A and B are shown apart, each in its own frame.
Chain A
Amino acid sequence: MMAMKTSDEQFKERVEKNLNDSFMRGAISAAQARFQTRRQARVEELGNWEEWRAHGEEIRKHVLENLDAYLYELSENVEKRGGHVFFAKTKEEASDYIKNIATQKQAKKIVKSKSMVTEEINLNAELEEIGCKVVETDLAEFILQLNDHEPPSHIIVPSLHKNRRQIREIFAKAGYDKSEQPEEMALFARKTLRQEYLTADIGITGCNFAIAESGTVTLVTNEGNADLVSALPKTQIVVMGMERIVPTFEEMEVLVSLLTRSSVGQRLTSYVTLLTGPKGEYETDGPEEFHLVIVDNGRSKILGSEFQPILQCIRCAACVNVCPVYRHVGGHTYGSIYSGPIGAVLSPLLGGYEDFKELPYASSLCGACTEVCPVKIPLHQLLHLHRQKIVEQEGKAPISERLIMKAFGLGASSSPLFNVAAKVASPIMSPFARDDKITSGPGPLKAWTEVRDFPAPNKESFRHWMKQRQKGEKS
């Protein structure tokens, strides 16, 4: 099972389980530290990062505001170069189209690289159902696939939660018997995969940016496998979310730079692959057939809504790499292929509140995500907007909470009432206090006092002191 939703467990259970996974937490906090330091260096060396961000935001906003026109231009240009374009409204339409191609080509083996959106449309399972062998060729995806199709925990490095020792154990399932040196393990993966490229019937990749003016698909990678996936098999299918467009090569370059600096802290990745339609008459490499599948799957509903800024996302994971909640709970807690702040905003939009209503609350609204986002998406504000919708429109907030908030509204909007509250807060709390602290609190305070004390209120309330003081001054 691997659509958007990756778990049937309750959110609370997932939190509990992952908080207890010390291996995962060690791997994640180390990775966050690495990513953050590298990103910081690459951002600072530019000297005018804020201008870069503003430019990135401007490009993405412009595309979203003119998405119809750019989608049209892109399709025209892909077709002009002999490619096929399919616009899929739903995930079923998308996977059916791809399954049809596989059936027509009598495909037995399909190699894949670089695509979150194919997970969104549950493509692997669908293809396996009709008898295709699907091989993930990104190292991280390859690891997870070997590990009984474990879901990704990070949008750039899906196996981020695994440490070397665990990866070695997973590789052992496929006959690996060497050390846990990353180089040695990568070599093993490469050897295993090399065979697969040569014998695959279809190559499927995602798309970082599609360039409207030329119909070119851009893939930004570090392993070079996307090159092989797209060059060796006879049929090439690119699957992209409908918003991943840029007008021209110029904007593509800006966004690639923002992407590589923000995600892994590189000036440029090792490979930037450009694919334009099938192999031309005088070209020696490339597929004979080229399909571009543009997936909507809920995106057009976001367009024009208050949540539109989330479609600016270029999937760099900078927000994930800096998130203090993700740091402790890891990607699987989100129960979605999209985790971290981007996942907490996007998953309820694409997958509905029913499955993802807790995610907007899995944030202290600290704003670290908003601060790093290279295209200036106000992530913490969008998380807050979700909360507002859940409370006001969906009626999904717990009743007890609604009552407390109603009471809050009443108390805090009337100063006489608030005055009383301020005066009685101290006496009400004092029975729970021992040695100036409360170690086991009543009601909602219980969750607080599980891990920390609550300081007992100061003996004299501020209001009282102030009043006495002012009286004293007058007399």
Chain B
Amino acid sequence: MKVSLFVTCLVDMFQGNVGKATVELLERLGCEIDFPTSQVCCGQPAYNSGYVVESKGSMKNMIKAFEHAEYVVTPSGSCAYMFKEYPHIFKGDPEWEQKAQCLADKTFELTDFIVNVLKIENVGARLKGKATYHTSCHMTRLLGVKDAPIRLLKNVEGLEYVELLGKERCCGFGGTFSVKMGNISGEMVDEKVRNIEETGADILVGADAGCLMNIGGRISRTGKPIRVMHIAEVLNSR
């Protein structure tokens, strides 16, 4: 099966390891990876801040970059959801609405793709430790992917899964919110890290690079011995 990877700008620029893990994992599961190099950012940072006009350029670019794709897979719930929003954003636009719809229809978040398209629940990963999982808001509430990551995690050999208290509560990332309302966001992430600590887990897993940078940044600042991993990295551990 041929899969076009939408790696997301955060991973592209800062978290290359997550991208690598995604590629290796999908290949191991039998996919052939295509990486359209003309992909940019999905436009979410500007869009969410209210700069709709400014964000449309990058959206059009993305639509073009993935026009040829059969499946578009991305290691981010939030960015996958953004693609799903494109048809609404281009509603009424004779040139782009239809194309946006095509892109939305063939886009999948990584774990959703593995469980619901590839129909695999055990990827054969092995990792020792006690892990808890952060359910990111866009992935859970807006995209509606809830069970897939948990099912995959529970099948990782050697990994003990513990549920996070207040798991549905936002970590305070929210894109530009984290700098625009830095202190409120800071209190939110501080509470999140305290909840993570209470689980006794030594690994925090998530499926969105943004949330993980936020939570990981706070963990690093407080010096807690908790390792932060993207779910692609966990599933690619052997």
Instruction: List A residues at the B interface (Cβ < 8 Å).
Output: 15-16, 19, 324-325, 328-329, 361-368, 370-371, 384, 386-392, 397, 401-402, 405-406, 408-415, 418-419, 421-422, 425-426, 429, 437, 439, 444-445, 447-448, 450-455, 457-458, 460-467, 469-470
Contacts and interface: CB of A to CB of B under 8 A. Distances in A.
A448 B182 contact: yes
Interface stretch (B95-103, B125-133, B168-176): B168-176
Contacts of A457: 13-16
Contacts of B19: 462, 465-466
B35 interface: yes
B178 interface: yes
Contact of A324 (B38, B48, B170): B170
Contacts, number: 212
A52 B155 CA distance: 36
- Residue among A366, A392, A460 with most chain B CB within 10 A: A366
Given A19-B187, A361-B180, A366-B174, A458 B220 contact: no
Nearest to B11: A462
Nearest to A381: B88
A455 B213 contact: yes
B87 to A, nearest CB: 14
Contacts of A467: 37
Given A392-B52, A413-B56, A450-B182, 13 more contacts: A324-B172, A364-B177, A364-B185, A365-B174, A397-B50, A405-B54, A444-B179, A451-B190, A453-B216, A455-B220, A460-B16, A464-B16, A466-B35
A448 B178 contact: yes
A115 to B, nearest CB: 30
Contacts of B35: 466, 470
A390 B50 contact: yes
B23 A328 contact: no
A330 B208 CA distance: 28
Contacts of A419: 37
Contacts of B188: 324-325, 328, 364
Nearest to B64: A415
The 6 closest A-B pairs by CB, nearest first: A413-B57, A364-B174, A447-B182, A387-B50, A409-B54, A452-B217
A451 B12 contact: no
Contact of A361 (B55, B172, B181, B189): B181
Contact of A454 (B174, B182, B187, B217): B217
B186 interface: yes
15 contacts: A15-B184, A329-B184, A364-B185, A391-B52, A402-B51, A405-B46, A412-B57, A413-B57, A415-B39, A450-B186, A451-B183, A452-B220, A454-B217, A455-B14, A465-B16
A453 B46 CA distance: 23
B32 to A, nearest CB: 11
B39 A408 contact: no
Nearest to B57: A413
Contact of B55 (A19, A409, A444, A458): A409
Contacts of A391: 49-52
B107 interface: no
Nearest to B193: A452
Contact of B46 (A409, A425, A450): A409
Interface of B: 7, 9, 11-17, 19-20, 23, 35, 37-41, 43, 45-46, 48-58, 60-61, 65, 137-138, 141-142, 168-170, 172-175, 177-191, 213-214, 216-218, 220-221
Given A368-B168, A452-B189, A462-B19, A363 B58 contact: no
B58 A454 contact: no
A15 B142 CA distance: 28
B156 to A, nearest CB: 23
B12 A463 contact: yes
Nearest to B35: A466
A469 B23 CA distance: 11
B170 A368 contact: yes
Nearest to A390: B50
A274 B16 CA distance: 63
Nearest to A333: B184
Given A460-B16, A465-B20, A445 B172 contact: no
Given A364-B173, A368-B141, A458 B51 contact: no
Contacts of A397: 50
A442 to B, nearest CB: 12
A425 B14 contact: yes
B182 A370 contact: no
Given A367-B142, A426-B13, A452-B214, A387 B7 contact: no
A241 B122 CA distance: 56
Contacts of A429: 14
B16 A458 contact: yes
B220 A437 contact: yes
A204 B176 CA distance: 45
Contacts of B178: 364, 447-448
A387 B53 CA distance: 12
A15 B183 contact: yes
Contacts of B186: 450-452
A421 B184 contact: no
Nearest to A436: B220
Given A409-B58, A418-B40, A462-B11, A388 B52 contact: yes
Contacts of B55: 408-409, 412
Contacts of A367: 137-138, 141-142
Contacts of A460: 16
B61 A409 contact: no
A209 to B, nearest CB: 29
B13 A408 contact: no
Most buried by A among B15, B16, B180: B16
Contacts of A444: 179
B208 to A, nearest CB: 12
A455 B228 CA distance: 11
A457 B183 CA distance: 24
Given A371-B141, A412-B43, A447-B179, A455 B217 contact: yes
A452 B184 CA distance: 13
Nearest to A469: B23
Contacts of A370: 141
Given A409-B54, A450-B183, A415 B177 contact: no
